[in-house]
Amino acid sequence: MTASETLRNSASAEGVSEALEMLHSGQHRYIRLDWNIGSDEFFRLASACADAGAEVKQDTGAFVIVAEEA
């Protein structure tokens, strides 16, 4: 993921519900998880991402959802 791609198609979520809304809206390719995520939340989110064809990757200091390109 390049810096310009990240800036152009990114957003930050402050909770699981917000991250899932952003993922399902299809408006953002990169969604930064901007909170201290617990293990239960992480696995719930990872499962939802897998179902949607997205991945959860670790970036510098945070996790990022990377959605498929439209």
Residue ranges and CATH numbers for the domains of the chain are: 3-66 (3.30.110)
Q: How far apart are CA 44 and CA 46, in angstroms?
A: 6
Q: What is the pLDDT of residue 2?
A: 54
- Residue 4 pLDDT greater than 80, yes or no: no
- Record the pTM: 0.82
Question: What share of residues in the chain are helix, strand, coil (percent, to 5)?
Answer: 40, 25, 35
| pLDDT tens, residue by residue, 25-44 | 989 999 999 999 999 999 99
Q: How far apart are CA 29 and CA 5, in angstroms?
A: 9
